[in-house]
Amino acid sequence: MKVGIPRAMLFHHYGEYWLNFLETLGVEAVVSEATTPDIITSGAVHADNETCLPVKVFSGHIIWLKERVDVVLVPRVVSEQYGTLACPKFMGLPDLARALDPDLPPVLAPRIHLADRRYLWAREWYSVARALGGTRLASASAVAGLLYGLEKHRVQARARPAAEGMTVGVAGHLYNVHDSRASLGLLDRVKSMGANPVTVDQVVPSRARMQAETLSRRIFWGYESRLAGAVLHWSRTRSVAGILYVTSFACGPGSIVGALLEDQLGREGSVPLMTITLDEHAAEAGLITRLEAFIDMLRRARRSSPGGLSVGGAQGVRS
């Protein structure tokens, strides 16, 4: 049996744990190819027009898997940390996938509910493991490995390689930042301009949570709370020269958190912040121009004022 996993959305957060789960069961996993223009076009055609870019990318990956697998694994992520809930689109992804095409293979949708400290949702993963042909022992081992990986992901930061020179914080969902086609190669472009990008997953989660709790308004979405905390950590510790806030057009949580951060950082005299808004129509020329201007401004600011600049309001990038 071949189990398909779309290389989109929360695959960039938890994909390695899902793959380890299937490997423990001895099941063949088929991961869709890296995002291409054709995948984005296919997703835009099949998905609702009002959905955000990541959902359209996800839809394109689901269609890519259609003729290649027997079933598709699309976990229903309910929460990513205690006291918060996931974005509604994460909860509805399995239903969205089933609605894309009547001829799609069956969709397996076990929950991930990290706010449930009793781990009752792990029973659903055990049921999936058994349905895929796993023995009792293999199924229990696969679930235990998954829980261990998710817990490690929740409390640990990804290793940050040593680097010299100017550092720029890139705050955005990993499926925006690490998908080189959806982000138009944002991280590589920052590197090519002589700056060192750091991402949200390289900030210790406990530090991000502590900073997020200082906001006047509580953020109820789990990853957005971590993202906001990471931005505040970078700004308040002056560990970056500037911050790129990356969001998607039509992303509700992203627009709300972006406005909240602009207000907070504006009152604190933050390091410079620029907002980049991505959609399926974005062109490389507009992005490159904005990045070059932003990074050049950071270099001039460092030379003239080592303490940094105050934020002048976010600027959007859509081309």
Is the model's pLDDT at 187 over the cut of 90?
yes
| Amino acid occupying residue 199 | T
HSE-up of residue 46 (Cα within 13 Å, Cβ side) = 25
* pLDDT in the model for residue 162: 67
Take residue 301 and report the two structure tokens written for it.
């600011």
Q: Which residues of 3-16 are buried (b: 16+ CB within 10 A; e: fewer)?
A: bbbbbbbbbbbbbe
Which tens digits make up the pLDDT trace of 263-315? Answer: 999 889 889 999 999 887 767 778 889 999 999 999 988 877 654 444 444 34
Residue whose entry in the numeric block shows the structure tokens 């207000």: 263
Query: DSSP letters along 176-237, please?
Result: HHS-TTTTTSHHHHHHHTT-EEEEGGGS-HHHHHHHHTTSSS---BHHHHHHHHHHHHHHHH
Percent of the chain's residues with pLDDT above 70: 94
Report yes or no: 183 and 273 within 8 Å, Cβ to Cβ.
Answer: no
What's the burial of 100, exposed, middle or buried (CB within 10 Å: 0-12/13-18/19+)?
Answer: buried
Q: Using 50, 70 and 90 to split pLDDT, how confident is the model at 43?
A: very high
Helix (H, G, I), strand (E, B) or coil at 76: strand
Which residues have CB under 8 Å from 118's CB, separation 6+? Answer: none
Take residue 155 and report the two structure tokens written for it.
């409390």
Which of 65, 48, 49 lies closest to 104 in space, CA to CA? 65
Q: How far apart are CA 286 and CA 292, in angstroms?
A: 10
**187 vs 163: which has the higher pLDDT:** 187
Which tens digits make up the pLDDT trace of 104-124? Answer: 999 999 999 998 988 999 999
Q: Do domains 2-155 and 167-304 have the same CATH topology?
A: yes
* pLDDT in the model for residue 153: 87
Which residue(s) pair with 274 in the sheet?
244
Q: What architecture is domain 2-155?
A: 3-Layer(aba) Sandwich (3.40)
Average pLDDT over every residue of 48-66: 93
| Torsion-angle region of 287 (φ positive above 0: left; ψ -120 to 50: alpha; else: beta) | alpha
CATH of domain 167-304: 3.40.50
Which residues have CB under 8 Å from 137's CB, separation 6+? Answer: none
Take residue 71 and report the two structure tokens written for it.
């079933």
Q: How far apart are CA 149 and CA 143, in angstroms?
A: 10
So where are the chain's domains?
2-155, 167-304
Lowest mean pLDDT: which of 144-153, 228-237, 278-287?
278-287
Cα of first residue to Cα of last residue in the chain, in angstroms, is 43
* pLDDT in the model for residue 311: 41
Q: Using 50, 70 and 90 to split pLDDT, how confident is the model at 35?
A: very high
Percent of the chain's residues with pLDDT above 90: 66
Q: How far apart are CA 183 and CA 278, in angstroms?
A: 7
Average pLDDT over every residue of 150-163: 80
State whether the Cα torsion 92-252-184-264 is positive or negative. negative
- Backbone phi and psi for residue 18, each to the nearest 5 degrees, phi listed first: -65, -40
Which residue(s) pair with 261 in the sheet?
none
* pLDDT in the model for residue 33: 96
Q: Using 50, 70 and 90 to split pLDDT, how confident is the model at 316?
A: very low
Average pLDDT over every residue of 82-110: 92
